[in-house]
Amino acid sequence: MSQAVGPWERRNRRVAYENDWIAVYDDLVVQPDGAPGVYGVVHPKFLAVGVVALDVNDTVLLVGQHRYTLDLFTWSVPGGGVPFDDDPLEGAQRELAEETGASATTWRELARFTLSNSITDGRGIIFLATGLSPGEPHRDGTELGMEIRRVPFDEALRLVDSGEIHDVFTQVGLLAADRHLRERGSAKEPT
Amino acid sequence: MSQAVGPWERRNRRVAYENDWIAVYDDLVVQPDGAPGVYGVVHPKFLAVGVVALDVNDTVLLVGQHRYTLDLFTWSVPGGGVPFDDDPLEGAQRELAEETGASATTWRELARFTLSNSITDGRGIIFLATGLSPGEPHRDGTELGMEIRRVPFDEALRLVDSGEIHDVFTQVGLLAADRHLRERGSAKEPT
């Protein structure tokens, strides 16, 4: 069944691959210029949420984990996948608690984004969490060996500058938190 | 052939889907806790590059395009996919010229990042381009109907705040440009 998708036409869609986390669609399309083509669309089954958890002493919680996809140990803000039917904020609170044990009194949405829009319809939300209380993490079997670091917020921004923090969710979260705090007038000047 | 991937073990990899732009691997794995599982890895065949092109009057070039994956018209910084063997800077210069016609005298890397690292090994780089000269765009058949807008830089940042600019490459690029310009002391104060 042919279907208009903006200036594109979708002639056919088949599920090329599917697991519990993603589906990949292989679409037969007609491009905006009228040429026939294929379009592969990666559909994540979960909303990506991340949490910039900022403590009273201006430190931010980072979690370190070996990432299977990259075969690299990376530092990022806590976060994970939340079912699209769930409340994103509750999902973010759950992910923060599972990965770090922390809970927070004050939550604010920092950024809402779409991912690599030439290949995926994936979406994400980053929250700012303040008023932290510590607790015990309870991680799942893929998160064994996860580490936690408290990093001064300014240092975390410098790790973004240098590319040592390269996870794009974490970069946008820290940069958006910096902008938010600066606009509120409560953040330090960049050094 | 079994292979260690940090604390994971890859028992088998098969190509589940492939087109000219992405490959999707379906891996049989052993998780860090010893449980068997599957891992789908989305491998983009191109590096994602983006360009924050800043003009002398503090405006930034945005391109507007209907995105097939999202079925949405979105504004983003110019950019595209560059073969991994190509020089990323030359690729960024080519994408800027193709989509907007502009060329620039001064280029600087703003951010280098990995994408949704739970599902992909994709990577991207955002450049800051200044010293712009106009020219004629020469777009491909998927870019028919692309629009160009010159937006004051401060307004572009507010469009990130509001989520009207939601493309994550564009968000990280504009926020990183803001931080870079502020640290250089040449940017306006946020309003």
Q: What confidence tens digit (pLDDT) does each residue in A12-64 have?
A: 999 999 999 999 999 999 999 999 999 999 999 999 999 999 998 999 999 99
Asked if residue A88 and residue A33 are part of one domain, the reply reads no
Token pair for B127 = 């450049």
Asked if residue A85 and residue A25 are part of one domain, the reply reads no
Residues near B49 by beta carbon (within 8 Å), at least 6 away in sequence = B79, B80, B81, B82, B88, B91, B92, B95, B124, B125, B126, B127
Asked if residue A50 and residue A33 are part of one domain, the reply reads no
The pLDDT value recorded for residue A183 is 87
Of A167-176, A177-186, B162-171, the poorest mean pLDDT is in A177-186
The pLDDT value recorded for residue A139 is 84
- Tally the domains of chain B: 2
> In the structure, what pLDDT confidence band is assigned to residue B166 with cuts at 50, 70 and 90?
very high
Asked if residue A91 and residue A36 are part of one domain, the reply reads no
Asked if residue A180 and residue A129 are part of one domain, the reply reads yes
Cβ contact A69–B21 (<8 Å) = no
Q: Does residue A130 lie within any of the structural domains?
A: yes
Of A16-30, A36-50, B17-31, B173-187, the poorest mean pLDDT is in B173-187
Asked if residue B167 and residue B143 are part of one domain, the reply reads yes
The pLDDT value recorded for residue B35 is 95
The pLDDT value recorded for residue A191 is 36
Asked if residue B138 and residue B101 are part of one domain, the reply reads yes
The pLDDT value recorded for residue B40 is 97
Cβ contact B144–A190 (<8 Å) = no
Q: Does residue A69 lie within any of the structural domains?
A: yes
Q: What SS3 class is residue A98?
A: helix
Nearest chain A residue to B126 by CA: give it: A168
pLDDT tens for each residue of A157-175: 999 999 999 999 999 999 9
Q: Which residues in chain B have Cβ-Cβ distances shorter than 8 Å to A121?
A: 69-70
The pLDDT value recorded for residue A36 is 96
Asked if residue B62 and residue B30 are part of one domain, the reply reads no
pLDDT tens for each residue of A94-115: 999 999 999 999 999 999 999 9
Residues near B29 by beta carbon (within 8 Å), at least 6 away in sequence = A68, B5, B8, B9, B10, B11, B36, B37, B38, B39
Query: Does ipTM come in above 0.90?
Result: yes
Greater model confidence, B190 or B153:
B153
Asked if residue B178 and residue B86 are part of one domain, the reply reads yes
Q: Does residue B190 lie within any of the structural domains?
A: no
The pLDDT value recorded for residue A144 is 81
> In the structure, what pLDDT confidence band is assigned to residue A88 with cuts at 50, 70 and 90?
very high
The pLDDT value recorded for residue B184 is 82
Exposed e or buried b per residue across B9-24, where buried means at least 16 C-beta atoms within 10 angstroms of its C-beta: bbeeeeebbebeebeb
Q: Which residues in chain B have Cβ-Cβ distances shorter than 8 Å to A138?
A: none
Asked if residue B31 and residue B95 are part of one domain, the reply reads no
Q: How far apart are CA A27 and CA B90, in angstroms?
A: 31
Q: Does residue B76 lie within any of the structural domains?
A: yes
Compute the average pLDDT of residues A147-158: 97
Domain CATH code at residue B51: 3.90.79.10
Residue B114: half-sphere exposure toward Cβ, Cα within 13 Å = 23
Greater model confidence, B189 or A160:
A160
Q: What SS3 class is residue A151?
A: strand
Compute the average pLDDT of residues B56-66: 95
Residues near B189 by beta carbon (within 8 Å), at least 6 away in sequence = none
Q: From the CA of A133, how many Å to the nearest CA of chain B?
A: 27
Q: Does residue A189 lie within any of the structural domains?
A: no
Exposed e or buried b per residue across B114-130, where buried means at least 16 C-beta atoms within 10 angstroms of its C-beta: bbbbbbbbbbbbbbbbe
* Residue whose entry in the numeric block shows the structure tokens 């590319």: A163
Q: Does residue A148 lie within any of the structural domains?
A: yes
Testing the interface with B: which of A66, A77, A119 to mutate, by most B Cβ within 10 A?
A: A119
> In the structure, what pLDDT confidence band is assigned to residue B139 with cuts at 50, 70 and 90?
confident
Contact B15, A16 (CB under 8 A): no
Asked if residue B37 and residue B86 are part of one domain, the reply reads no
Domain containing residue B7: 3-44
- Phi and psi at B183, nearest 5°, equal -70, -30
Asked if residue A130 and residue A107 are part of one domain, the reply reads yes
Among B76, B115, B161, beta carbon nearest to A115: B115
Q: Does residue A190 lie within any of the structural domains?
A: no
What distances in angstroms separate CA B176 from CA A65, A178, B86, one per listed residue? 25, 10, 24
Q: How many CB atoms within 10 Å of residue A140?
A: 14
Q: From the CA of B153, how many Å to the nearest CA of chain A?
A: 14
Which of A29, A44, A59 is the last residue before a domain boundary?
A44
Token pair for B62 = 């945005």
User: Helix A168-184 vs helix B153-162: angle between axes, to the nearest 10 degrees?
Assistant: 110
Highest mean pLDDT among A153-157, B114-118, B184-188: A153-157
Q: Does residue B189 lie within any of the structural domains?
A: no
